[in-house]
Each structure stands twice: as structure tokens, then as C-alpha cells.
Amino acid sequence: MDYVALLKSVKQTYGAEKKAVIAFGGSYGGMLAAWMRMKFPHAVQGALAASAPIFYFKGADGAPETKYFDIITQDFGETYPDERCSNGIQEAFEDFAAIKNNTALWDEFSALFKLCHPVDSADDVDNLYQHISNGFAYMAMTDYPEAANFLNPMPAWPVNVSCEAYQNVTNQPREEIDPKATALTPR
């Protein structure tokens, strides 16, 4: 309603009451543009919603809850034909659950990630998981062929750059972290 009131005021100020309004935006802004058009068709005569994940929301026709992360995983999986990058990232994320519930691993985990403050709760592990997960999501969202600085400095093709760490890694059978382990051991 704020935008509808703003549009009315701007149109009156500039004598443009009979002019059409086209809403536009990208990503979240694209969703706002689309929703504005749907909810207030009398105020907005068109909308351009670029990269707007409007079908991500639950509903009869909505995408599954995991679809967003499935697409991110696919982006990292395409870096190498054997999906070693996405598999390695996924394995690391799975390890967070074992580490979260094993206080004996928290000091070593803190040192491994060079954390400013050591892990002292399961919530700390969850927060680190979310922080790292968001980093991978941002890389996938900004996987452009040129460097970008609008979120944070990103190299060209950040997904490929991040997967370079897996260049000499081969897929091997998965070994689970022992939930009773007292030290993190290489696989």
C-alpha cells in the first residue's frame, strides 16, 4: 500500500495520472514487482520480474523446499564431470551434524576453521554451517563470467574458483565421522 500511495503522489505531482506504471526488479525485487502487479493491478499495469524465484514458495504449484539448494548443488556438480566438488562440499556439510553433537571435537573444529571465538555450543556449529552454506549460495547466485563487487568481491566464475580445491581429489568411498571420536582424522 505504501508503494501505491507513493505512485499516486508522484503521478499527481508530475501530472501523469493517466500514464502507465511498470514495476521491475531482480531477485527479491523481482518478486516484489510481480506481487505488486498481482495485488494492485489498478496501480501497476505491468511488471518485469527478473530472476525472481516466485515459485519457490510452498503451495500446490510451488517448487519443493529443497529445489533452491538442489540448483546450487547442481552448479557445483557441473564443475567436474565426476561431481567431486559438490560431493566433497556435501560430505563436509554432513560432517557438521556429527561434530555438532560431539563436544570433544569442538576445539579441533575451531582451530581447523581458525575461528575468532571457539565453538562452545551446538548453536555455534549451526551458525557456522549457515554462514558457510550462505557463502556457497552467494557464489552460485553470482556465478558470472566477470568479477563482481555488489555483494562482496567475487572473482569471475566463483563456483569454478571455489572448486579448484577439489582439482586433485578423487571420489572415494565415504567414511562417516565416528560420533564418539575425540579427534578429526583425515579420510
Per-residue pLDDT tens over the stretch 118-147: 999 999 999 999 999 999 999 998 899 999
- Determine contact, residues 22/1, Cβ cutoff 8 Å: no
pTM for this predicted structure? 0.70
pLDDT tens-digit readout, 66-112: 788 888 999 999 999 899 999 999 988 888 888 898 999 999 989 99
Averaged pLDDT, 11-19: 96
**CATH assignment, 67-166:** 1.20.120.980
Domain ranges of the chain: 2-56, 67-166
More confident residue, 123 or 51: 123
Q: Please name the residues in contact with 45: beta carbons below 8 A apart, sequence gap of 6 or more.
A: 20, 21, 22
Query: What dihedral angle (degrees, nearest 10) is formed by the CA atoms of 29, 35, 37, 38?
Result: 170
CA nearest to 7, candidates 27, 26, 18: 18
Averaged pLDDT, 3-10: 95
Q: Please name the residues in contact with 17: beta carbons below 8 A apart, sequence gap of 6 or more.
A: 11
Helix axes 84-100, 122-141, angle to 10 degrees: 160
Given a cut of 90, is residue 34 above it in pLDDT? yes
Amino acid at 157: W
